[in-house]
Amino acid sequence: MLGHVNALGGHTGVFADLQKLQNGDQISVTRADGATAVFAVYRGAKYSKNSFPTLEVYGNTSGSELRLITCDGYNPATGEFDDNYVIYAKLIA
């Protein structure tokens, strides 16, 4: 899932606090059928956009996993974000 850290009008985006998630924190996702999937965070990582590990983040896993991805590393000189922050979580229920 992708989400912004900031929003229009200087507001915070849905993933503004993504880096506050810690190992063991749970994330609930409501599926299209109304069921809820629960994932447990096992890692967070910051990557430069120039060396983003596409296969590691988007590749196949041995079980059901979730990735939360947002921008990071705001560069005031360019007005852009130089990095991405990724949360890795495994399905637990």
Q: What is the pLDDT of residues 7-51, one digit of tens each?
A: 888 899 999 999 999 999 999 999 999 999 999 999 999 999 999
In this structure, which amino acid lies at residue 73?
Answer: G
Q: DSSP for 37-74, please give it.
A: EEEEEEEEEEEEGGG--HHHHHS--SS-EEEEEEEEEE
- The predicted pLDDT at position 53 comes to 98
How far is the C-alpha of 13 from the C-alpha of 7, rounded, in Å? Answer: 5
How far is the C-alpha of 91 from the C-alpha of 27, rounded, in Å? Answer: 9
- The predicted pLDDT at position 8 comes to 84
How far is the C-alpha of 28 from the C-alpha of 45, rounded, in Å? Answer: 20
